[in-house]
Structure 1
């Protein structure tokens, strides 16, 4: 493959440096804006090529030494070589470019980026598992940049502190199991007091393997769940009835959840994000608020503490049941919940035809364009939109501004996934 000395002029959306060789765009892993590097081409495409950094001749002032020994091999993090303050600045540029290019909008003001502790933050995720005959051991971790391979990780710096140092021990545990070759993944979820591991297994686990898991759980203070088939097959192995929950102290709320439920990955950022969203929403005692894509009630229940009424709508009926249970658990009686696939037309639904003074959205990557075909209603004056994908937020911002008469009053980024190119953001829309 071709090797060339190149100047890096920009970063891609996934954190690779952008250069040109013979006029053709090249995306260079491990390179930063303003650097001159030696790049080795590893893949060719019609309109661009992909390369990796072989040597840095002129380093960016924002380049730092990665904390993780596995950086560059493991694809779990792509930006550890970029200073945290430069990471968040790059993410804000991505958001601004998407607003301008896709939505044709610009915020009246930029919010200060929201950040928190950049290490040991990840409380939820999925680890790949693979027995490698050549190494005669089981690898547990995130995938390499080539997704066919599992990175040989001994210690992960971004995982929850109860889990990150124990990756190698988990691999050794699986390696002693009779079903070592039949465990493709382990999902993890951390509450405030319990860390759960969910072992997906393709064959039934014998008594020997189950006992190994129980002993490991006792030794390392984990709760162990088994998943023999689909999501509904998940059940506890040890202890008998483990409880996962996290508190939102500012609103005197505790949210209970199951290990495969969606919760925000970054616990510290979630607390700050809720406060941030509440400040922008400015809930008042006479407000009626609609929370779309509400999940477990992460925003719904804090909002309920401040308003006359709130309704949460979510497509996953299991999450809706647990959101209602969480409302009861926290003594909240002014929150209602509805099951609805928000990528379908629900304009005739009772909750859609009511008058809501304010609206909160927290959609998945696809965004909320289908909902915006029939909402917001004429009485809605303020919308807070939490986004995990800048392109869909920009598209939806254009809809709210150009079709519904709102203005993009404020927007900013939130570093939910430090050291990755993932852009989490929040926007405030107001209508006079």
Structure 2
């Protein structure tokens, strides 16, 4: 059996032609692609080879010989080690431009489609924007202390962070304090992670505990909560076990002022991490959907009603469909809280993935047997291919598709255009996660006159 050829120790000099979808520079050395961490398009760099693979190699910048005009100094002292961010060395305007290029390439390569119009890019605050996050926790005996933060880049280790520039300051500026708190507990080695949840007001921290804290531990956690104003919850088991410490219950909510809607949520519910960008997104979705008093609207993967309730302010009737029973219950409560009764908005639970429509029928979902004028869908990363036939059969003339992954949006866009007579009228990107390579986007489909209804 032949041994692996050792990696060369000498740095390699190369031109960076482009950026990959995950924010690494792409060079070609001896005809083979190399993904170079820390390099930007248009730069000449010296890099060290870190990994060989059959189809491509990987490397890391040692020296930038000729810098891109879009290169900036990272704000965070931990950038490069921490895996929470990938693009702090790239100017924010160039970051969102790169994300639009990623989306355009995916649409053409996978879906074989192009939007007729590119929508203006949506951007909000670039720092301190994260109000939802999951932080790793680890006691490191060799260091004699606890680490709290995101994982290291391409590693399962927790990065040694003093602060985080993208988390809301209420938490981002307290990572050292959190680490010291956990280090003072008897169960410091039995806390796996902390989840952060925040709307417009209070901040909840959910400590995932692998064994019960002692009374002394509870006292220390309560003192930390009193000192910081943060609310401490514990999670000893599954998600159903999440509960506040005595006196720590928090009422979480966020407002969409332009639509006169406020949504309450539980700490472990899905909400967008970037509140200000979400407000821009809701406004953009409404603008593109353009519902009127005579329209029946379908909202699939509706969650708490983030889009459903704003749509209900303008449409005749909107039906929100969601797979999580708890979210459906809270969406209904949110409708009542906002003065919207079931003559304007309704919610139903349906598993939009496991219930595959029958080829000889409209489908097993109640919504698929009804007629709608407009639809909005906001599926998870895996996309919405399973529901597209049934969705088209409802007779919608217009669809707004909110996506968190360009690959599945492109696949679904191609399917809608090729199989159901839609055209991709417009598409655009938004910077929901600044300084990361994550691409959030919105696409608008209009049914052409020759489109089918099934």
TM-score category (smaller protein)? over 0.9
Deviation at 1:317, TM superposition (A): 1.1
What's the C-alpha RMSD, in Å, of the aligned pairs? 1.0
The residue aligned with 1:362 is 378
1:391 aligns with 2:407: yes
Q: How does 1:263-278 map to 2 (within 5 A)?
A: 263-278=271-286
The residue aligned with 1:382 is 398
Residue 430 (structure 2) aligned to one of 409, 414, 424: 414
1:41-63 CA-to-partner distances (Å, cap 9, x unmatched) read 11111111111111100100000
Residue 262 (structure 2) aligned to one of 254, 257, 265: 254
Name the stretch that deviates more: 416-425 or 138-147.
138-147
CA distance in 2, matches of 1:69, 1:12: 24
State whether residues 370 and 394 of structure 2, in contact with CA within 8 Å, keep that contact through their aligned partners in structure 1: no
Name the stretch that deviates more: 176-185 or 3-12.
3-12
Q: How does 1:24-423 map to 2 (within 5 A)?
A: 24-333=32-341, 334-343=344-353, 344-346=355-357, 347-377=363-393, 379-423=395-439
1:424 aligns with 2:435: no
- Partner-residue secondary structure (3-state), 1:242: coil
Shift of the 200–102 alpha-carbon distance from structure 1 to 2, 3 Å rule, reads same
CA distance in 2, matches of 1:62, 1:251: 37
Deviation at 1:315, TM superposition (A): 1.1
Deviation at 1:238, TM superposition (A): 4.6
State whether residues 8 and 33 of structure 1, in contact with CA within 8 Å, keep that contact through their aligned partners in structure 2: yes
State whether residues 50 and 58 of structure 2, in contact with CA within 8 Å, keep that contact through their aligned partners in structure 1: yes
1:15-73 CA-to-partner distances (Å, cap 9, x unmatched) read 00011222221111000001111111111111111111111001000000001111001
- Partner-residue secondary structure (3-state), 1:187: strand
CA distance in 2, matches of 1:96, 1:295: 28
1:309-361 CA-to-partner distances (Å, cap 9, x unmatched) read 10111111111111111111111112111111111325232211111100000
1:5 aligns with 2:13: yes
TM-score when scaled to structure 1?
0.98
1:167-193 CA-to-partner distances (Å, cap 9, x unmatched) read 111001000000000001000001211
Name the stretch that deviates more: 265-274 or 38-47.
38-47
CA distance in 2, matches of 1:192, 1:375: 34
State whether residues 223 and 238 of structure 1, in contact with CA within 8 Å, keep that contact through their aligned partners in structure 2: no
CA distance in 1, matches of 2:375, 2:109: 25
State whether residues 224 and 239 of structure 1, in contact with CA within 8 Å, keep that contact through their aligned partners in structure 2: no
State whether residues 233 and 248 of structure 2, in contact with CA within 8 Å, keep that contact through their aligned partners in structure 1: no
- Partner-residue secondary structure (3-state), 1:291: strand
State whether residues 291 and 311 of structure 1, in contact with CA within 8 Å, keep that contact through their aligned partners in structure 2: yes
1:379-427 CA-to-partner distances (Å, cap 9, x unmatched) read 3101000000001001110111111101100001010000000000001
Deviation at 1:152, TM superposition (A): 0.6
State whether residues 231 and 249 of structure 2, in contact with CA within 8 Å, keep that contact through their aligned partners in structure 1: no
- Partner-residue secondary structure (3-state), 1:216: helix
TM-score when scaled to structure 2?
0.94
1:277-328 CA-to-partner distances (Å, cap 9, x unmatched) read 0000001011110000000100001001111110111111111111111111
State whether residues 128 and 172 of structure 2, in contact with CA within 8 Å, keep that contact through their aligned partners in structure 1: yes
Instruction: Structure 2: state its 5+ residue gaps.
Output: 1-6, 358-362, 449-454
State whether residues 19 and 26 of structure 1, in contact with CA within 8 Å, keep that contact through their aligned partners in structure 2: yes
Paired residues, number = 432
Deviation at 1:255, TM superposition (A): 0.7
CA distance in 2, matches of 1:200, 1:238: 17
State whether residues 413 and 426 of structure 1, in contact with CA within 8 Å, keep that contact through their aligned partners in structure 2: yes
- Partner-residue secondary structure (3-state), 1:94: helix
Segments of 4+ moved more than 6 angstroms: none
Deviation at 1:111, TM superposition (A): 0.6
- Partner-residue secondary structure (3-state), 2:159: coil
